Amino acid sequence: MRLRTLLPGLFVVAMIIAFLEFAVDAGMIRRALLPPPSATAEVLWELLSTGEFLPPLLSTLKLVFAGFFLGSAIGIGLGTAMGVSPAMYRLFEPLVELIRPIPKSALVPPLMLFLGIDDAMKITSVTLVVTFPVLLNTLQGVRGVDRVMLDAARTHGWGLGHTLWHMILPAALPFILAGMRVSLGLAMVLAVLSEMLAGQGGLGFLILDMQRSFQLRQMYAWLVILAVLGLLLNSIFLLAERRALFWQRR
Amino acid sequence: MKAGRITSGFWLVAALLALWELSARLHWVDSPNWPALSQVLAALFHDIASGELPPLIGGTLWRMGAGLAAGSVAGVVVGLAFCLAPVTRMLLAPAVELLRPIPVPAVIPPLVLFLGLDDPMKITVVALTAFFPVLTNTMQGVAAVEAEAIQMGRTFGVGPLRRAAFIVLPATLPYALAGVRVALGLSLVVAVVAEMIAGEAGIGHYLVMMQFAGRAPEMYATIILLSVLGYALNRGFVAVERRAIHWWFALGRQADG
């Protein structure tokens, strides 16, 4: 969307915030539930200007990135292997189907027992949730490659590596990236959830901790930071996706 | 896997499960957190038979269902409004898009303040989660309604409201349902997540309790139960979906985005 078309909507958002400010001032909403947005903005400014926001943000970002890249690598690797080789498909398909329906967020408690409450546990849980959408999409993309094209590659004497890199993966890329886009959102969810449950640090922990200690301005300020982070990561990925798929006309 | 055909993958799963059982029985992995598979299954049957789990499942499913229904209806209504009355889209889409990227667990703490720890909060969280995929798919669906169908409606003098109800809505249904199917999977997970973070109800709270209590068999049993539940819900929904929009599949189309 261009800025011109965004403007009326952003105006509405501003109106909503202004209304909340007024409603809290007039006592229509209790301050114990929602501090005035201006007070939250003050705290937010303080966090931003002192650089206090950076360590928790980076610690959450680290989990998201580490898990996202690990999970994507596993998903793309295994998905490609299963898509190319029927033997690999037969070997792994039942296992994948068995693990896939397990809600990954429910695995956080047992992971805490085995890996403790440090980054290892959090990154593992993010990796797990990222892997499956990427794997399934990669598989779908690789299996969807035109047989005629594969035969042509063989006719021209292309090796497996060459065919993979120059034909199969580019053809599967739109599917792979669509899976990664879904996984990015899930990675954020699992990072925040495992921070909340492990209770050590990061944006998820801070939001929950500030609520429990009734520091609501801080809670909302951290929530805004998290929301902006989500928005940024998502927008960056969409841009990168469009770049990578430049040949596709939308 | 086709029934009756035993493939290498079946043996891999069987071998891993056997390894699990043996590693616990023979103390290769000597940890109270690593119960044998048979102990986990025994705990699962015991907790179901003793009547401990069924009401917890019921509560979780009720919150999931209520949230899913509310979120789906909202998603379809807002999606139709955004497409059929572009003014609403221009005014409200940015507000919606600002909410979308917030990871769901993070909205739970503020919602606890407004709605408390019980059902209203959890149902709202589920509804919020379900809303977005249904909205996206509904909008895709409206965009995909053949211009021909709309023009034909115009030729026959069908007004805008009846056009929305009798031409656009049915044509959009397969897309909306595909969105609901995505939302269904998320709803169960999010209902459980909300229970894990806040309150003392449902299967999610039970899971965390079992972790704190160090009752590993019960903990794994809960996870197996959740997996089976998620799988069954998805299967059930696909069956209902095929019934509801059989004409769509009869046309050989697919609504997966």
> Does the global pTM surpass 0.95?
no
Express as a percent the part of chain B with pLDDT over 90: 58
Say whether both B81 and B10 belong to one domain. no
Chain B interface test: which of A189, A231, A234 (most B C-beta within 10 Å): A189
Same domain, B169 and B216: yes
CB neighbours of residue A5 within 10 Å: 13
CB of B225 closer than 8 Å to CB of B44: yes
Q: Do B192 and A106 touch (CB under 8 A)?
A: yes
Task: Examine residue B84 and state whether it is found in any structural domain, yes or no.
Answer: yes
Checking phi first, is residue A30 left (phi over 0); if not, alpha (psi -120 to 50) or beta? beta
The type of residue at B139 is M
Q: Which residue has the tokens 């019934």?
A: B243
- Please answer whether residues A221 and A156 qualify as being in contact, where contact means their C-beta atoms are separated by less than 8 angstroms: no
> Contact at 8 Å (CB) between B224 and B234?
no
The residue behind tokens 């379809």 is B76
Q: Are residues B133 and B24 part of one domain?
A: no
Which candidate in B16, B98, B238 is best for mutational testing of the A interface (most A CBs within 10 A)? B98
Looking up tokens 């695995």 gives A107
Question: Which positions in chain B touch A223 (Cβ < 8 Å)?
Answer: 102, 106-107, 109-110
The answer to whether the Cβ–Cβ distance between A87 and B8 falls below 8 Å is yes
Work out how many domains chain B is built from and give that number: 2
Q: Is B138 found in the same domain as B55?
A: yes
**Is pLDDT above 70 for B3?**
no
Q: Are residues B9 and B121 in the same domain?
A: no
Is B48 in the same domain as B150? yes
Express each pLDDT in B69-94 by its tens digit: 999 999 999 998 898 888 888 899 98
In this structure, are B93 and B58 located in the same domain? yes
Residue range A59-69, pLDDT digits in tens:
999 999 999 99
Which residues of chain A are modeled with pLDDT < 50? Answer: none
Cα–Cα dist B63/B46, whole Å: 25
Q: Please check whether residues B41 and B23 belong to one and the same domain.
A: no
Tell me which residue range forms the domain holding B25.
Answer: 1-30
Residues B42, B156, single domain; the answer is yes
**Which chain B residue lies closest to A205 (C-alpha atoms)?**
B106
Q: What is the domain-level CATH number for residue B147?
A: 1.10.3720.10
Largest Cα–Cα separation, chain A: 78
pLDDT at position B252, please? 59
* B108: in domain: yes
In a domain, B51, yes or no: yes
| Contact call for A196 and B98, based on CB within 8 A | no
The whole-angstrom separation of Cα B86 and Cα B165 is 17
The reply to whether B255 falls in a domain is no
Residue B119 lies in a domain: yes
Place of tokens 């006592």: A27
**Which member of A12, A32, A204 has the closest CB to residue B105?**
A204
- Chain A environment of B114 (Cβ under 8 Å): 33
CA dist B21 to A188, B25, B36, B211, Å? Answer: 34, 6, 5, 20
String of b and e for A213-239 (b: at least 16 CB within 10 Å)?
eebbbbbbbbbbbbbebbeebbeebee
Residue range A133-180, pLDDT digits in tens: 999 999 999 998 888 888 888 888 888 888 999 889 999 999 999 999
- Please spell the DSSP secondary structure of B34-102, one letter per residue: ---HHHHHHHHHHHHHTTSHHHHHHHHHHHHHHHHHHHHHHHHHHHHHHHHSHHHHHHHHHHHHHHTTS
Average pLDDT of the segment spanning B183-190: 93
Q: Which residue has the tokens 């709605």?
A: B115
**Model confidence over B117-149: pLDDT tens digits?**
989 999 999 999 999 999 999 998 888 876 677
Q: Is residue B201 part of a domain?
A: yes
Phi, psi of B61 (to 5 degrees): -65, -35
**Inter-residue long-range contacts of B241-250, CB under 8 Å, 24+ positions, other chains counted:** B241/B177, B241/B181, B244/B173, B244/B177, B245/B173, B245/B174, B245/B177, B248/B173, B248/B174
Does B111 reside within a domain? yes
pLDDT per position as a tens digit, B14-70: 999 999 999 988 888 878 888 999 999 999 999 999 999 999 999 999 999 999 999
Please state, in angstroms and rounded to a whole number, the distance separating the CA atoms of residues B4 and B31.
37
For residues B98 and B207, membership in a common domain is answered with yes
Residue B10 within any structural domain of the chain: yes
Contacts with B90 from chain A: Cβ below 8 Å: 5, 8-9
In a shared domain, residues B188 and B67: yes
- B24 and B101 both lie in a single domain: no
